[in-house]
A = this chain, B = another copy of it.
């Protein structure tokens, strides 16, 4: 069965690849694409999303711009990784369509409310601001959403500091809201995505496809690989966001564990940390509720899922 998803993203090199994967793969269908400030400002990431849509040939899918800043904290961007535009590297084409005037939050609400209960999966690959706002503005979406499968956080690993990942730490209150709602939630964190490396072998395989999107992905990975090497010392860049999409396409690519999972809002060293309680046996007081994707299986599998339709 084809899974209908709303991709809520901040493109972002890996967001762009996630979008290409979601569009290209027959087992998943983009119900909407929404943007949120993060890797760059909201105008930049929205323009990037529309440019990627043109490259991928996405039509008939509503795109909408969302939150330009976190709920409570000051806004932070990630130019060291994504450049000032959020998608430095490739030359981007002009968009061929415009954003939906309703805005991201209302588009999310309308899409979920207009679909069958359990039909829509939310796939956030940026800060969780839009999703949190949607849940608070229209709580009836919560039981209608099939699942939230998000890229963000991590079990025992951070990138923005020792314990916290960028998507979560830039809007920890939004993440707290999303992690504590009653929908099923699967966190695809850095512990997983740091294994999804665009190695030379992977990049050669993509290059061999030869299509416009494949060339574009190559250009994205050229830039992304260089900044990840310079800023965090990765020989091959981790391609975070597509892993969440890959998991929706085929849950068997990841092993998941059910555990209590929450977001730290008050720590000096740990603000924005995603705290999974992995004690075994679980203490009686701990409600195992969320699911942490914990181990990626053969990354070759997940990369190959990527080229079906875009090839």
Contacts and interface: CB of A to CB of B under 8 A. Distances in A.
Count this chain's copies in the assembly.
4
Contacts of A68: 139
Contact of A156 (B156, B176, B233, B269): B156
A278 B162 CA distance: 7
Interface in A260-306: 260, 262, 264-270, 273, 275-281, 286
A68 to B, nearest CB: 7
Contacts of A132: 71
Contacts of A158: 279
A92 interface: no
Interface string A47-89: 0000000000000000000011101100000000000000000
B103 A162 contact: no
Given A159-B279, A264-B267, A269-B275, 9 more contacts: A67-B136, A103-B137, A162-B279, A162-B286, A262-B269, A266-B268, A269-B270, A270-B273, A270-B275
Q: Looking at A139, A159, A270, A279, which has the most chain B CB atoms within 10 Å of its CB?
A: A270
A100 interface: no
A177 interface: yes
Contacts of A269: 262, 264, 267, 270, 273, 275
Contacts of A105: 137
A156 B275 CA distance: 10
A290 to B, nearest CB: 13
